[in-house]
Amino acid sequence: MDLPALETAIKILEKSLDSLGVWLAVWTALVVVGLIVEFAEDVKELITERPFKWRLFRTMVGGFLITVGVGGELFIQFRASKIETDLRTDSHQVEALLNKQAADANKEAGDARREAADAVKGTAKSLAEAATANERASQANRVAEELRQKNLQLEKEFAPRLLAIRGLPDGKSNIDELKKFAGTKVILASVHDAEALHAAGSIKWLLEKAGWDVVVTVPIDPFSASVKIPDGVTLIPAREGDAPSRHDCPYGPGMEGS
């Protein structure tokens, strides 16, 4: 049985109890009235007739006490019924107050559950956003790393080309084979560019360390329409018996620099 059905059943029982209390008061009142009627003539006889009848007096005293006792019972019953009614009323008020407090507590609990659910949703959304941000940061880091690698490769490609004397595992150096041709004369020609001139200077220094004779270093105008210098290093051997000079530059003396 649910709560509303129990409350209805309690109200019906209370009404029945109130009805029985009313009938009990009616029957008790009838007893009091009957006792008064029964002893009315005896009281009149005891007062008017002489000699005084003690036996009748004792009977009257007993009847009076019974009447007073029943009347008192009727009064107390009436008062108890009223107090019981007031007590039920107060109990119902307390019950209603408790029910209201319980309803408010349930409402607050429901609000708290909804707030907690909203907080969980907000946390889940924040975690998802954080995961997305982390993924974007990871992608940005990957792109940055790729760019860094590309920049390193570009720096490596555009770094000045340096030639140095290095030792080999057999104890020799990388210019020992060039030393066999010490005294060979060389003309170096390069475009008038910082990187090219730097590379030409490095070659000149290495050849001189090997004992070669670098006659002249010729810088060429890279914007000249008549000069076509290929990328990299090109070797052009001199004709047999010729002594190379700066006028033997393959790109023509008109392209010589100072």
User: pLDDT tens-digit profile of 196-217?
Assistant: 777 888 888 888 888 998 876 6
* Whole-number pLDDT of residue 176: 84
| Average pLDDT of the residues in 131-140 | 90
165: phi > 0 → left, psi -120 to 50 → alpha, else beta; which?
Answer: beta
In the predicted model, is pLDDT for residue 128 greater than 80?
yes
Which tens digit of pLDDT belongs to each residue from 171-182? 788 888 888 888
pLDDT the model gives residue 258:
28
Note if the pTM is more than 0.75.
no
**Region 131-137 average pLDDT:** 89
Q: Specify the pLDDT at position 50.
A: 73
